[in-house]
Each structure stands twice: as structure tokens, then as C-alpha cells.
Amino acid sequence: MKILVLNCGSSSVKYQFLDMQDEKVLAKGKVERIGMDDAIFEYKGSAGQEIKEVTPILDHNVAVRKVLAALTDKEHGVISSPDEITAVGHRVVHGGEAFSGSVIIDHEVKRTLRALFDLAPLHNPPNLTGILAVEAALPGVPQCGTFDTAFHSTMPEVAYLYALPYAMYKRHKVRRYGFHGTSHRYVSERAMQLMGPRPNLKLITCHLGNGSSLAAVMDGKSVDTSMGFTPLEGMIMGTRSGDVDPGVFPYIMSREEISMAEISSMLNKHSGLLGISGISSDMRQIEEEMENGNPRAKLAFDMLEYRLRKYIGAYAAAMNGVDGIVFTGGIGENSPVLREKVLRNLSFLGITLDEVANLDRARGERRISGPDSKVEVWVIPTNEELVIARDTRDLVLQMQQGKDQREPDLVGTTAD
């Protein structure tokens, strides 16, 4: 079974094509600047074949057809006909309260996705555009949606509600949804496999990248996460502030004489590592400048570490204990300095560090806590595409086995 995984943004499509026999990536790439005359198409096959061209790609329909053409290309392709594509899996950002797992996309699902546009006005519309583009290019091929929010649908009320008037939740569905769910799910499942079966395993997964979030995962279920109604809450990120007292917004707005749209832009694009350091949103550059003795870079690093530490502490308290901590994402996987700093500051949890394993950049999945550590600490590179492909495979198999279609097509949020 071969599955195409798509992540459609407003002007981009990222794709991976996997053979589910051995879960091998046959090809991957991206289309950028969709809608422009100088759009960029990139394709990499598993045998090292590459395509990179700058060409007009007017919309997502053209982009999807371009991907299919490359996959079936005589010279660079990996399949001989689009018929070999069994199914297509999509990353969908917001599932609201409607989706607690991946689903086969049908009319009803599309209608629900439209209804969710208000909750994710930037992300859900292009996700649906991608779904419609595949429908046009590959009629009859089943499509599956995997939601960034789904893994966190197990959060209890005490964790997902804001202490606003309850009417805000009832009327407008204002609550915490959480994001990066597919990543938290993947790394927590991997950690459970790596750590061996234990009842009530308590994990804290730290997805630290351009956007960052933590999740408290108990017995395979997300019980809390740091992003909320939008991906702005929680951690200090590349350009996002994370938690801020909402009381400062009217004050800043009147002092700077700026509008709601401008304050939103300030919080999303001008804050975080970039806002504090004034240098960069990129952790690598912050660390470099910190080594050069730049005090603002050090401050940004220290603030991020402090926020991270507070969240780990909070989630250990939320679960009344912690058995494992997992680092993933661009920063989580590649910043031994941050990992070391935060773990040394968490010695009260009985954590010790395996310095060699921590510094070893070449190895992928590895345990970085010492043998005597009371909490296991792991680095696990995330793989969201694989989760989407697996869910798509499972749903398609279920469908083929002619399961009663009246039952909701949900694929588990727990380990296989």
C-alpha cells in the first residue's frame, strides 16, 4: 500500500510519499509560492533523483498535479501510474471538538471543516483547498484527515477550560485545544515502546521548534498541553510571546496607539526569542551569539529555559509525578545546551544527565539521562508524516474490510 501525505498551507504544499509495506519514504518535497509565476517545485526521490524548478503554479490544483506528475515521471518517478496511490493523508490543523482522531474525508467531514474555519482562519481553509485539489486530481481515491488538535481531545475539563465566563465556552467554543498533537502522539508512543510497558506511565513531551508546546501524557493520553485556543499560548517561541498577562494588551495599545491587528502581529511575529534578543528567532543563532557574550541573546535563552522548566514542573505536578521527559522538534532534537541547562535545573526530580549521549548529535533516538536518574529523559526525532500515513492506512483497511460505516471512523489516539 502506497500513501501520499500532504501538508497544505495557503501558498505551499509539503508532501511525502510512503510505501507502507516497510514504511519507507519513496519521495518527498515541497511546492512553495503557489499562486505566483515564480513558484518553486522541489522533489527528492529515495534513489537520490532530484527535481527543482521555478515555474508558474497558479493554485493548489496545479501543485497537486505537479506532485503526481513527478511521482509518475519516467526518469525521476517512483511509480508508473497514479493508480498505485492507495490513499492520501492530510495534515489538518484544527479539528475543534468535532474530531478526536483521524477520519476518512467525506461530505460530512468537509462540511464540518468549513464550519471550523472561524477557529483556524489561517490554516483550515488551505487544508480544505488541498483536499479538494486531490479530489479533482485523483477522483475516487480515499482521503484521510489527521488533526493537530486530536491527540489533546482527551484533556479533562479542568485543563481545557479558561476561567472566563462559562458562556464564552458555550457560545463560542472558547477553550484550550492544543496543537502539535500528531507530534506529541508520535513521540509519546515511541517513548512508551522504548521505556517498556508500565502502568500509568507519566510522560512530559516537549516539542520545541519554531512553534513550541509541551504535553502532559498519562497512560498514553494527553491530559494537558501548553498551547491553547491558538498556538500563541504557553512556551516562549521563535517569534511568539507565549504566556503574557492579557492586562498588558489594552495598556500597550493605548501607549503605542496601535490596533488589535497590530498587537496580534506584535505577539505573533515580533516577540519570543526575536523580540527579547533583537537578533534572531533561530535558536542556533541565539546560542552562537550567547557564546560570543551577547547579553540579550543570553537573556532570551535563559527566559526560554526558565519557561520550559516551569512547564515541566507544572506538568509533573499536574500528573503527580513524571516517569519520562521527551525532547523533540528542531530545538528539542538539536540543542544539547538547552537540554543540559534545563535538566540540571530539575535535579530536585532526581534527574541525572548522560553527558555523552546528550552531546552526541549524530544519533537519533536515544536516552540522555544517566543510569541512576529517577526520570528517564529521551531525545526522539518526531515523524508526523508517518503517523498520518499509518492512520490513513488503518482507516483504508477498515473501510476495505467493509466495517459498518455508520460507526464513526476513528483511529485510536493510543499506541498500536
Closer Cβ to another protein, 261 or 356, answer by number = 261
Footprint of another protein on residues 332-351 (CB under 8 A)? none
Q: Tell me how far, at minimum, the Cβ of 237 lies from another protein, in Å.
A: 14
Q: Using alpha carbons, list the distances in angstroms from residue 403 to 99, 172, 407, 410.
A: 19, 35, 8, 12
> With binding defined as CB under 8 A, does residue 262 bind another protein?
yes
Q: Tell me how far, at minimum, the Cβ of 256 lies from another protein, in Å.
A: 7
> With binding defined as CB under 8 A, does residue 265 bind another protein?
yes
Which are the catalytic amino acids?
Answer: 148
Q: Tell me how far, at minimum, the Cβ of 130 lies from another protein, in Å.
A: 17
Q: Which of 46, 52, 58, 200 binds another protein (CB under 8 A)?
A: 58
Q: Tell me how far, at minimum, the Cβ of 32 lies from another protein, in Å.
A: 12
Closer Cβ to another protein, 141 or 253, answer by number = 253
> With binding defined as CB under 8 A, does residue 55 bind another protein?
no
Q: Tell me how far, at minimum, the Cβ of 22 lies from another protein, in Å.
A: 40
Sequence-ordered list of residues with C-beta below 8 angstroms from that of 185, at least 6 positions apart, any chain: 151, 222, 387, 413
Q: Which of 11, 12, 112, 294 binds another protein (CB under 8 A)?
A: 11
> With binding defined as CB under 8 A, does residue 118 bind another protein?
no
Q: Which of 261, 361, 372, 401 binds another protein (CB under 8 A)?
A: 261
> With binding defined as CB under 8 A, does residue 237 bind another protein?
no
> With binding defined as CB under 8 A, does residue 37 bind another protein?
yes
> With binding defined as CB under 8 A, does residue 76 bind another protein?
no
Question: Among 190-198, 203-211, 258-266, 354-362, which window interacts with another protein (CB under 8 A)?
Answer: 258-266
* CB distance 54 to 61 below 8 Å: no
> With binding defined as CB under 8 A, does residue 269 bind another protein?
yes
Question: Among 156-164, 254-262, 306-314, 378-386, which window interacts with another protein (CB under 8 A)?
Answer: 254-262
Q: Tell me how far, at minimum, the Cβ of 63 lies from another protein, in Å.
A: 14
Closer Cβ to another protein, 34 or 206, answer by number = 34
Length of the chain: 416
> With binding defined as CB under 8 A, does residue 266 bind another protein?
yes
| Among 143, 154, 24, 6, residue whose Cα is nearest residue 67 | 6
> With binding defined as CB under 8 A, does residue 355 bind another protein?
no
Q: Which of 1, 132, 263, 357 binds another protein (CB under 8 A)?
A: 263
Closer Cβ to another protein, 58 or 359, answer by number = 58
Label residue 363 exposed, middle or buried (CB < 10 Å: 0-12, 13-18, 19+): exposed
Cell reading at 280 = 534572531
Q: Which of 53, 59, 108, 291 binds another protein (CB under 8 A)?
A: 59
> With binding defined as CB under 8 A, does residue 256 bind another protein?
yes
> With binding defined as CB under 8 A, does residue 108 bind another protein?
no
The site for another protein (CB under 8 A) is made up of 11, 35-37, 58-59, 239, 256-259, 261-263, 265-266, 269-270
